[in-house]
Amino acid sequence: MIIGKVDNETLERLVLGRIGKVRDEVIVGPGIGEDCAVLDFGEYECVLSTDPITASVSRIGMLAVHISCNDVASNGVEPLAIMLTVLLPPSVTEEEIGEIARQADEAAKELGIQIIGGHTEVTDTVTQPLISAVAIGRAPRRSGKSFALSEGDLIVVTKKLALEGTALAAMRREKELRPYLTGEQIEYAQAMIEQISVVKEGVIAGRAGVKAMHDVTEGGVLGAVWEVCRNAGVGAEIDAAELPFDEVTMTICAVLGLDPMRLISSGSMLMCVSREQWDTIKPALAEAGIDTNIIGRITDTKRGIKLIMKNGDREEVGPPGPDEIYSI
């Protein structure tokens, strides 16, 4: 099969219908575009998300913590704990194990969460370190489902797009990029990995009021838009001219032949808000130093999901395939 997330059609056909006994305590279960599961804990909800880290090795401990916590934050909930399953190849050294633990500890302290357990194992079934994380959050009891999206609602993203993809590409293909970028630009691109947390904006938007959120990960911004729209049963128009990509990102993508709109974008949160909600959320995010860009709007589902190019052409946006990062 193709490397990357299993495609949505295969998931629906082989996986999502096989979920064991359906429990009344499960408020939100598995589904395409669902970042988290939500459980009924009486006056509280327990919000959980799990993610593996397979695309990076050098920052794997840090990424494992941030990526899963980002998913919890996409529910507008502050994460409070995380569990880590760490699988290591026989070639691993004690120094490497210590570095992974150091990174995870540092990221957890930054987010104010506790690592509450997990599993660490050396196995010849992996050829490089692999971490699977489960992040846990708690919120007062609410509906657990996203509000219905309406035609005219705004589609917003925070910070720059493709931050993680840019950093990973600059780390993996540094030598190939050196003729096109200065040493300072390459260091700048690699440092984008430090911006991948969206917990702050997720919690702020959740408290201020937001209809839907989705952290922009594999499949890039277009994949995130497609998943949100499919989940909500709506269409969308995305303005390509308004997508906030850094110039260094665009240069790297041009050199390596990557589509930045389909490049993993941890570090950016996609939000769907009414115009009235935006009047409250925008200043709250700005006060926290978080940049935002309106990139489109929700439309009727019959109109589909359209990308409006800079020349005015309209392209249909389909479901996400393998992320561009896997091509390098």
> Is residue 129 helix, strand or coil?
coil
State residue 147's pLDDT score. Answer: 63
- pLDDT tens track for 188-226: 999 999 999 999 999 999 988 899 999 999 999 999 999
Whole-angstrom distance, CA of residue 299 vs CA of residue 302 = 8
Can you give the pLDDT at residue 103?
A: 96
Place of tokens 């993610």: 51
pLDDT in tens, 267-300: 999 999 999 999 999 999 999 999 999 999 999 9
Greater model confidence, 9 or 166: 166
Q: Say which range, 7-16, 52-61, 139-148, 198-207, has the weakest mean pLDDT.
A: 139-148
Q: Which two tokens stand for residue 19?
A: 């979920």
Length of the chain: 328
Q: Write down all domains in the chain, each with its CATH number in brackets.
A: 22-140 (3.30.1330.10), 154-327 (3.90.650.10)
Say what the pLDDT of residue 145 is: 47
* Type of residue found at 111: L
Percentage above 90 pLDDT, the chain: 80
pLDDT in tens, 40-52: 999 999 999 998 9
Average per-residue pLDDT for the chain: 93
In this prediction the pTM is 0.88
SS3 92: coil
Whether the CB-CB separation of 67 and 133 falls below 8 Å is answered with: yes
Q: What is the structure's pLDDT at 98?
A: 96
Assess whether pLDDT exceeds 50 at residue 144.
no
Alpha-carbon gap, residue 15 to 103, rounded angstroms: 33
In the sheet with 26-28, reading across from the earlier edge strand, the strands are: 26-28, 37-41, 44-53, 130-140, 79-88, 114-122
